[in-house]
């Protein structure tokens, strides 16, 4: 039995992960600062001192990671903790916003506004599914499995993906603008979703997920985008589109995992860290494996998805 004065396994692992994070952060800070941080105006060996300091930090960082794995911390968690330190990742700001491309054309500005609403819902759905799959994998989900709802959820997400792609084409989005909307720069938004759903109880998470698993009268191809009068297809051809639903689910799972690691590092995770890490490692495979009832294959022909329905009654809260 663990003494009241002895740290639990979760606490011990959290301390080890915190050390990995801190060492990675120090290494990043010294690397970014360069030799100038040791230039006191007197010594001429700032380059040598900087190089030696970097080498010392690399050794200490590797030792921290090795010690954590020897203590039974999942290697994936160690890598996540290192990445947290390298990025200087703290708790995401509740005021995270994405960069909005500028448009003088009012119609294109409208398309971008609608795109951001749909993109937010698409990201939220990915985060919901990642959270649901995680709770199933870790035995924290008591609701019955409903393959019809799962299939409808996947259809709705695929339709939203089609809708965002069509709107991106109508707004004539460039690759750089697309990256500003759904690239690495919006990781904070994914983390906000992950933090939000990690705090939900089972009932609240199921209710939110079920809301996105119901059909609603919103077309996958918006009726207001320009169409060819003969074919009915959008006149603008998409040159850039959001990540596939599969990739968004993987990104959401990664954000959820980072949230769990961050919580463990802050030493406030109540569940057993070792058991949790083992289950989390398999979440992406469980979510994206071949045996899933649905596959994330978006409809590449926007016109073919005109009859599909999605939910659009939820707006951004960021």
pLDDT in tens, 107-166: 888 888 889 888 988 999 999 999 999 899 888 899 988 999 999 999 999 999 999 999
Confidence of residue 34 (pLDDT cuts 50, 70, 90): confident
Dihedral sign, Cα of residue 187, residue 193, residue 196, residue 197: negative
* Bridge partners, 217 (sequence order): 310
Helix, strand, or coil here: 227? strand
**What integer pLDDT is reported at residue 266 of this predicted model?**
62
Distance of CA 41 to the CA centre of its chain: 45
Q: Which residues of 158-196 are buried (b: 16+ CB within 10 A; e: fewer)?
A: bbbbbbbbbbbbbbbbeeebbebbbbeebbbbbbbbbbb
Tens digit of each residue's pLDDT (9 = 90 or more) over 263-291: 666 653 444 544 554 444 444 444 444 44
Ramachandran angles phi, psi of 309, nearest 5°? -120, 145
Least confident of 48-52, 87-91, 149-153, 303-307: 303-307
Contact of 147 with 283, CB cutoff 8 Å: no
Tens digit of each residue's pLDDT (9 = 90 or more) over 71-105: 887 777 777 778 777 766 444 444 456 778 888 88
Q: At residue 174, does pLDDT exceed 80?
A: yes
Is pTM beyond 0.85? Reply is: no
CA distances from 262 to 198, 208, 210, 313 (A): 12, 24, 28, 32
Q: CA 48 to CA 65: how far, in whole Å?
A: 26
Question: How do the domains of the chain map onto residue ranges?
Answer: 9-87, 106-267
Task: Please compute the mean of the pLDDT values over residues 30-39 and round it to a whole number.
Answer: 79
* Bridge partners, 219 (sequence order): 309
Better pLDDT: 204 or 50: 204
Confidence of residue 313 (pLDDT cuts 50, 70, 90): very low
196: its two tokens = 């939000």
Contact of 122 with 242, CB cutoff 8 Å: yes
Q: At residue 243, does pLDDT exceed 60?
A: yes
Q: CA 100 to CA 122: how far, in whole Å?
A: 17
Confidence of residue 41 (pLDDT cuts 50, 70, 90): low
Percent of the chain with pLDDT over 90: 24
Helix, strand, or coil here: 309? strand
**What integer pLDDT is reported at residue 47 of this predicted model?**
81
Helix, strand, or coil here: 208? helix
Q: Which of 20-24, 114-118, 204-208 has the highest mean pLDDT?
A: 204-208
Confidence of residue 228 (pLDDT cuts 50, 70, 90): confident
């Amino acid at each position: 039995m663990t003494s009241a004065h002895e740290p639990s396994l979760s606490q011990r692992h959290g301390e080890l992960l915190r050390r990995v994070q801190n060492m990675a952060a120090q290494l990043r800070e010294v690397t970014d600062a360069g030799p100038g941080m040791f230039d006191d105006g007197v010594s001429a060996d700032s380059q040598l001192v900087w190089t030696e300091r970097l080498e010392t930090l690399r050794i200490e960082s590797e030792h921290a990671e090795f010690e954590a794995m020897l203590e039974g911390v999942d290697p994936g968690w160690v890598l996540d903790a290192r990445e947290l330190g390298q990025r200087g990742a703290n708790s995401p700001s509740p005021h995270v916003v994405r960069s909005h491309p500028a448009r003088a054309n009012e119609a294109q500005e409208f398309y971008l506004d609608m795109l951001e609403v749909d993109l937010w819902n698409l990201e939220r759905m990915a985060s919901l599914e990642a959270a649901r799959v995680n709770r199933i994998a870790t035995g924290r989900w008591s609701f019955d499995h409903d393959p019809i709802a799962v299939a409808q959820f996947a259809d709705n997400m695929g339709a939203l993906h089609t809708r965002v792609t069509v709107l991106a084409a109508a707004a004539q989005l460039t690759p750089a603008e697309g990256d500003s909307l759904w690239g690495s720069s919006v990781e904070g938004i994914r983390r906000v979703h992950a933090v939000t759903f990690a705090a939900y109880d089972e009932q609240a998470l199921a209710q939110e997920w079920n809301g996105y698993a119901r059909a609603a009268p919103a077309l996958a191809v918006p009726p207001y985008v320009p169409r060819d009068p003969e074919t009915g297809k959008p006149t603008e051809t998409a040159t850039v589109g959001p990540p596939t639903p599969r990739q968004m689910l993987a990104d959401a799972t990664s954000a959820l995992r980072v949230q769990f690691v961050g919580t463990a590092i802050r030493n406030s995770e109540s569940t057993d860290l070792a058991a949790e890490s083992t289950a989390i490692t398999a979440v992406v495979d469980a979510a994206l494996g071949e045996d899933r009832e649905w596959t994330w294959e978006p409809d590449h022909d926007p016109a073919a998805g005109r009859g599909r329905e999605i939910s659009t009654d939820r707006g951004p809260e960021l």
